[in-house]
Chains A and B, each alone.
Chain A
Amino acid sequence: MIVASPKPVTELKEIVAAHDKILFVGCGTCVTVCLAGGEREVGIYSYAMRMARRLAGRPIDIEQVTIERQCENEFIKDLAPAVERNQAVLSFACGAGVQALAERFLNRPVYAALNTQFLGILEDQAVWTEKCLGCGDCMLAQFGGICPVTRCAKRLLNGPCGGSTEECCEIDKDRPCAWQVIYKRLKGIGQLDRLEQIVPPKDWRPAWHGGARKIIRQEHRV
């Protein structure tokens, strides 16, 4: 899922400083699961924003709504009357959701309330870790399901660097060396021979390096 984290209240206060009536829109998908932009977070930040603005002598009227997904027009379209009633929109979605709102509601400013971070998993209660870079050319089959492109700080594809110590990455002693994890994993599934294959330099063209990507699946087009 997409993992995000909320911006500080002071930053949000600056962002909406020009408005007195604003719509806070939560998203019911990824950012609800990662406790950053769901219905509850919208409620908490509404309280904080109202109090901050009243203390500043300029009260703000906040309307709250949380939709199932902000990244799909099918769910966004029902927001139109609420958007119309307000001067601006503060979106608690990932960057994709914020842009989806901005592209649909052309006559209202749409601001981001979250910092979108990465594609990751819930590692432990309230702990998320990055697992996928979205490079567009998945190599997980070669590495026992562990991604060196994401989890190796140097994105090495042919074994660890000389800096890893005690099974940890040299840039952070709390971070496991991706190549140690790959080795253990391949050993566990009896595929250590995969490490004897030299992996050529990765083709980064399917990744972001070619600009924003687009996928068209003809079999599902109407």
Chain B
Amino acid sequence: MPNTKQLEDFVSQVRRDIVRQVHGVNSGHPGGSLGCAEFFVALYQEVMKRKDGFDMDGKDEDLFFLSNGHISPVFYSVLARSGYFPVAELNTYRKIDSRVQGHPTTHEGLPGIRIASGSLGQGMSVALGAAQTKKLNGDPNLVYSLHGDGELQEGQNWEAIMYASANNIDNLISTVDLNGQQIDGTTDHVLNMGSIRAKFEAFGWEVLDVEKGNDMNAVLAGLKEAKSLTGKGKPVCILLHTIMGNGVDFMMGTHAWHGKAPNDEQLESALTQNPETLGDY
């Protein structure tokens, strides 16, 4: 089991992978990806029960679904470095004839991906469908999902949130990346959603806040607590307070880097801030 320092080193490499992927094709979404690096590393390196290799059905293991598919660079980096596909393939991100598409997809058969996402608001329904099947199969393992906070403006989420509590889907942990940013500005400015906690609670979910969503120990503790809340009749929501662009100073806390690639100079600065730990692809 890796210690915190090892996980933080892993995160450093993931951040490098993120900015290098996006820089390599001058497109993609670094901001949200960087903000969720600790969450992905904690999930795949420490928290989830995973089998060797990959099969679509994922029986007898935990499952993860990414709903806000545009943060694919962090997903791809962590999947590759967790052994799902060769790390060198990150170099094909968003390029022609690649399995590493702009947004995650099953279409080209990239191991680790179980659903296409990109058009927002669909992932929670898929996750709770998978959670329902786990219950039918008598499979005690959990289903995790990740959603953007701006993404909650899509109405389908609330259909899913309503269904999950009404049907006691208590083997599902849905995390909301609460970075307060979306394309056109802050979430409060674009469409103020009020208290997301109050909304989930009103819909019958168990909700817990992870105030330091970019602190590895805090993320690990939050996920551990969330796991302890499963199996008790309620779906579980983690409100993960993150900083968009975390770990690259000039990208932090602004929506400006939602979907913009760094230039050569900016890449150099970003890489200097995040040392190579596992070897660049």
Q: Do A and B share a complex?
A: no
